[in-house]
Copies of this chain bind each other. A is one copy, B any other.
Amino acid sequence: MDRLHELKSPKDIIKQMMLKDEFSKWLGIQVDAIDHGRCSLSCTLRKEMLNGFSIAHGGIAYSIADTTLAFAANSYGYQSFSIETSISHLQKVKEGDRLIAESEEIHRGKKTGVYHVNVKNQHDELVAIFKGTVYISKITW
């Protein structure tokens, strides 16, 4: 096999992505697991992540889920871009709560992929469900 065409490992890709991902760093995201097509991340709710109801802003659960999607979808070595995402917020998240996001690969075609991401709190309660569709390019990491 030609060394030039070898694909990077999931860990190396995510290390490279995380290095530049300033917002995920601000969120305090920790990579708990990463493999081909799957990823698990966590972070803790800080005061600056709250909304006008003094609970977690909907954008926080969305953001950790979106990073989880990005890492899972890019893990195979081909740059992938989110084209459509949706999230249902099911339960309030409070300051100090831990968010744990875990992906499930529903479908991986040649051009597009579909992933679910479950976001739970430290009590293993589901706080949000997220679905993301990605376009898979031919550009390698």
* Contact A57:B50 (CB < 8 A) given known A87-B85, A126-B106, A135-B111: no
Complex contact A50–B20 (CB within 8 A): yes
How far does the alpha carbon of A59 sit from the alpha carbon of B70 in the complex, in Å? 12
Complex contact B62–A66 (CB within 8 A): yes
Contacts of A16 in B (CB 8 A): 52
Interface assignment of A84: CB less than 8 Å from any CB of chain B: yes
How far does the alpha carbon of A64 sit from the alpha carbon of B86 in the complex, in Å? 15
Contacts of A25 in B (CB 8 A): 48
How far does the alpha carbon of A53 sit from the alpha carbon of B70 in the complex, in Å? 10
Chain A interface size, under 10 / 10 to 19 / 20 to 34 / 35 or more? 35 or more
Picked from B52, B62, B74, B85, the residue with its CB within 8 Å of the CB of A63 is B62
**Complex interface residues of chain A between 116 and 140 (CB less than 8 A to chain B):** 126, 129, 131, 133, 135
Complex contact A84–B17 (CB within 8 A): no
A interface residues (Cβ-Cβ under 8 A, vs B): 16-26, 47-54, 57-60, 62-63, 66-67, 70, 74, 79, 81-90, 106-107, 109, 111-112, 114, 126, 129, 131, 133, 135
